[in-house]
């Protein structure tokens, strides 16, 4: 594609859509489709829709992009506070951030101000806030083995931000008025409490299976475009699966189980990415910048 941002996942979506074609009686179906389209368009005009750049589909969005950024800015300090604060080692932070930035740069929304932060928390977790905030925990970093696996986690979270799943689910599950009340300029002791309470809900935010699959496949496309070996994502899923057998892990309480994700990821890699020669795994670099320093 001309803008260089069709990383293969588009084919999957087109394939999926074509199964809905009805050949036998096209006209009544088309009329209904046209009516729905007109209804949908007028609905979108009044309520506010945005195109999801990952799927190319119109989606209902109650929150503007500016509000996305503002919500992220407001909740970020509280997430950091509740999840052990930032890891103080600048080498670790710079490494995580530079891997993340290489993905954000080639994403469909490079205009957000992304930050990728390692948190000093023993849980195995990663999460995103609207507007570009991505967090990965010490517990997760300790279980990864190379840079491609880290890129997989960060690319998955970047895709949630690009698709604006985070703000969407926050307004669905928490309530848009409550969510935005934290962003208004008036700060009372009550609203400070609310932010802390809401943050706990954000940490456990559940996405739909459709959003998760989109974040996996979109993230896969992003990590390949950033030069990484996509099997890093499959390995990460396998690690999560193994860890979950030892004891239930936090990341999977808000995400679907890894079994079928390994299936569709492997299939997508075999279908879309033929030439992986020279793609980056960077095990040594990861051990040097992250694992050796975390164990100190
Ligand atoms: Zn996710």
pLDDT category, 223, cuts 50, 70, 90?
very high
155 C-alpha vs ligand 1 centroid, how far in Å?
10
Q: Which two tokens stand for residue 287?
A: 């051990």
Give Cβ neighbours of residue 258 (< 8 Å, ≥ 6 apart): 237, 238, 240, 241, 244, 252
Mean per-residue pLDDT, 48-62: 76
Ligand 1 centroid–CA 215 distance in Å is 6
How many angstroms is it from 130 CA to the middle of ligand 1? 13
Give the integer Cα–Cα distance in Å for 249 and 257: 11
What confidence category does residue 147 fall into, taking pLDDT thresholds of 50, 70 and 90? very high
Over residues 148-174, the mean pLDDT reads 91
CA distances from 266 to 47, 68, 119, 273 (A): 39, 33, 30, 10
Q: What is the pLDDT of residue 5?
A: 46
- DSSP type of residue 224: H
Question: What are the tokens at 262?
Answer: 């390994």
Q: How far is the CA of 87 from the centre of ligand 1 (A)?
A: 23
Give the distance (Å) from ligand 1 centre to CA of residue 126: 9
Q: Give the residue, 43 or 165, on which the prediction is more confident.
A: 165
Q: How far is CA 152 from the centre of its chain?
A: 10
**Under 8 Å between Cβ of 8 and 225:** no
| Span 205-222, average pLDDT | 92
Rounded to the nearest angstrom, the distance between the alpha carbon of 125 and the centre of ligand 1 is 11
C-alpha to C-alpha distance for 152 and 285, rounded to whole angstroms: 16
pLDDT tens by residue, 70-114:
889 988 999 999 999 999 999 999 999 999 999 999 999 998 999
- Please state the rounded mean pLDDT for residues 176-189: 63
Q: Is 117 helix (H, G, I), strand (E, B) or coil?
A: strand
pLDDT at 136: 97
pLDDT of residue 137: 96
7 pLDDT band (50/70/90 cuts)?
Answer: very low
* % residues pLDDT > 90 (the chain): 50
User: 54 CA distance to ligand 1 centroid (A)?
Assistant: 14
The pLDDT value recorded for residue 9 is 41
């Amino acid at each position: 594609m001309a803008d260089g941002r069709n990383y293969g996942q588009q084919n999957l979506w087109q394939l999926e859509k074509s199964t809905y074609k009805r050949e036998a009686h096209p006209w009544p179906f088309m009329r209904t489709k046209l009516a729905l389209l007109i209804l949908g368009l007028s609905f979108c005009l009044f309520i506010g829709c945005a195109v999801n750049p990952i799927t190319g589909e119109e989606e209902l969005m109650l929150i503007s992009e500016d509000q996305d950024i503002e919500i992220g800015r407001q909740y970020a300090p509280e997430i950091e506070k509740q999840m052990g604060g930032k890891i103080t080692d600048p080498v670790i932070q710079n490494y995580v951030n530079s891997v993340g930035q290489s993905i954000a740069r080639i994403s469909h929304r490079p205009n957000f101000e992304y930050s990728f932060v390692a948190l000093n928390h023993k849980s195995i977790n990663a999460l995103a806030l609207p507007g570009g905030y991505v967090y990965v925990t010490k517990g997760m970093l300790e279980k990864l083995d190379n840079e491609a696996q880290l890129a997989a986690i960060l690319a998955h979270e970047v895709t949630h931000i690009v698709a604006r799943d985070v703000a969407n689910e926050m307004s669905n599950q928490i309530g848009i008025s409550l969510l935005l009340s934290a962003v208004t300029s008036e700060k009372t002791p009550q609203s400070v409490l609310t932010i802390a309470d809401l943050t706990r809900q954000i940490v456990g935010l559940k996405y739909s299976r459709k959003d998760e699959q989109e974040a996996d496949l979109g993230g896969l496309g992003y990590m390949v475009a950033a030069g990484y070996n996509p099997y890093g994502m499959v390995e990460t899923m396998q690690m999560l699966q193994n860890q979950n057998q030892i004891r239930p892990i936090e990341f999977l309480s808000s995400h679907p189980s890894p079994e079928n994700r390994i299936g569709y990821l492997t299939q997508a890699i075999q279908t879309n990415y033929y030439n992986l020669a020279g793609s980056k795994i960077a095990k040594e670099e990861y051990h040097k910048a992250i694992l050796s320093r975390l164990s100190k």
